[in-house]
Amino acid sequence: MKKVFLSLFSFFLGLNMVFSQNNLSNEMYDLAKMKEGFRNRRVSSYNPTGENRDRLEAIEPGETIILADIKGAGIINHIWFTMSPGPRQLSRNDIILRMYWDGNDEPSVVSPIGPFFGQGWNEQYNYASFALSSGPKDGTGLCSYFAMPFAKGARIEIENQADITIKAFYYYIDYLEVKELPNDMGRFHAWFNREITETLPEGETEWNSVGKQKANKDGSDNYVFADIKGKGHFVGLNYYVQCPTPMWYGEGDDMWFIDGEKQASLLGTGTEDFFNTAWCPQEPYQHIYFGYPRVNNDVGFLGRTHVYRFFIQDPVFFEKGLKATIEHGHNNCLTLDLATVAYWYQNKATAVPAIPDKAGRKLKPMINSVMMHKWRHEWRKNKGNKTDLWGNE
């Protein structure tokens, strides 16, 4: 009887394995499947004369250039950009990227080109993730593998809001042309925000350093990185923080308000925890879904940090809307320079909120040793200018 039972068990186990194999769904498995109804298309800066100057040239300040104006239905599956001159001359924060779907007059993607691809503060550094990368040489190759479906056309443009001419702009926009887009395909959205956050009236009380910390019960003063109306799912965030003091900037919790909630239903435990890291990291680290490609390397936590997270396995779903926020220090006690680019899909293409203008995107200066010495000078005066003051009095 035992042998019969084992034989039956093995038989059904084998059947289950066969069915499981037939229902497999992963990237490498799906890559081997034969597909029908697709035609590869590309729009690029290729020189139609056949000569080697495969680029757009002399994009003047204030000029908007349409990179692609695609008719019909399709899915953009690859974008690559590079440009000159470099960031020391041409600010990536002032080249604005816009994407329009299905003939809409309002863009569903609005962001400075650097932050969209993972380059904060008009800096250059290598960065690699599942969806986006900024690759060699020194972060100059900007790449996206986000799927961007459209049923009635797509338009992608850049606007030069910098003060100088873009001398050269190279690009590929690869897409699949389809006869009809499946009804369940969402539309890609991305939005840039930036804020110099304000501290509390009682001061920057982080870790009870200058006063007792209070509770944050409703998240009303949190930094907002997504404010979405409609149905969809949230899939990624690039988060850029410049901290003007040596104090740890990351005690802020993420708080998600789904479908009009008055109280957040998704609550976090700290900024680094939200980004899958721990204990105030300061080391570069890159995973396909999260990482720290640029970390502050000054005194304490003074300086600039870029951290990202893509919600590929764990999208945040919403039916009517989403307000996604994070504290700037516990109970929003810190003045920080925060900038973000959020990425999500919706069931239809909609306009995103306006982004900060050029003045609102102007970079804050880095705090240096001279500035810190001036802080010490004011502290000495506050302590009576005694000649033997050390710093811990």
Segment 179-216, tens digit of pLDDT: 999 999 999 999 999 999 999 999 999 999 999 999 99
Mean pLDDT calculated for residue range 361-373: 93
pLDDT at 88: 86
Q: Are 106 and 94 in contact (CB under 8 A)?
A: no
The helix (H) or strand (E) run that includes residue 73 is strand 73-84
**67, 82, 114, 116, 124 from 111: Cα distances, Å:** 15, 16, 8, 6, 17
pLDDT of 4 > 50? The answer is no
pLDDT at 23: 58
Q: Are 66 and 160 in contact (CB under 8 A)?
A: no
Sign of CA dihedral 271, 276, 278, 282: negative
Comparing 258 with 138, the larger pLDDT belongs to 258
The CATH fold of domain 191-386: Jelly Rolls (2.60.120)
Mean pLDDT calculated for residue range 81-100: 95
pLDDT at 219: 94
Where does the chain hold its CATH 2.60.120.1390 domain(s)?
A: 36-185, 191-386
pLDDT at 17: 47
Q: DSSP label at 246?
A: S
Binned at pLDDT 50, 70 and 90, residue 72 comes out as very high
Mean pLDDT of the chain: 92
| Pairing label, strands 127-128, 303-310 | unpaired
pLDDT at 6: 44
pLDDT of 12 > 50? The answer is no
Q: Which two tokens stand for residue 251?
A: 């005690």
pLDDT at 26: 74
The CATH fold of domain 36-185: Jelly Rolls (2.60.120)
Amino acid symbol at 287: H
| Radius of gyration of the chain measured on its C-alpha atoms | 25
Mean pLDDT calculated for residue range 118-124: 93
Query: What burial class does residue 387 get, using C-beta atoms within 10 Å of its C-beta: 0-12 exposed, 13-18 middle, 19+ buried?
Result: exposed
CA within 13 Å, CB half, 345: 18
Q: Which two tokens stand for residue 24?
A: 């497999």
Binned at pLDDT 50, 70 and 90, residue 22 comes out as low
Report the share of the chain in percent with pLDDT over 90: 86
pLDDT of 55 > 90? The answer is yes
Mean pLDDT calculated for residue range 148-156: 98
pTM over 0.85, yes/no: yes
Alpha-carbon distance of 97 to 110, in angstroms, equals: 6
pLDDT at 5: 43
**Range of weakest confidence among 75-79, 295-299, 363-367:** 295-299
Comparing 33 with 162, the larger pLDDT belongs to 162
Q: Are 20 and 29 in contact (CB under 8 A)?
A: no
Q: Which two tokens stand for residue 363?
A: 């970079």
Could you report the per-residue pLDDT of 326-342, keeping only the tens digit for each?
Answer: 999 999 999 999 999 99
What are the residues facing 304 on neighbouring strands?
Answer: 242
Report the share of the chain in percent with pLDDT over 70: 94
- Nearest residue to 222 (alpha-carbon basis) of 193, 244, 202: 193
Q: Which two tokens stand for residue 197?
A: 């956050």
- Matching residue, tokens 């394995």: 17
CA within 13 Å, CB half, 335: 10
Q: DSSP label at 208?
A: G
pLDDT at 2: 46
Amino acid symbol at 87: P
Q: Are 169 and 45 in contact (CB under 8 A)?
A: yes
Q: DSSP label at 90?
A: S
pLDDT of 301 > 90? The answer is yes
- Nearest residue to 110 (alpha-carbon basis) of 96, 122, 124: 96
Alpha-carbon distance of 127 to 293, in angstroms, equals: 6
Alpha-carbon distance of 12 to 40, in angstroms, equals: 43
pLDDT at 24: 60
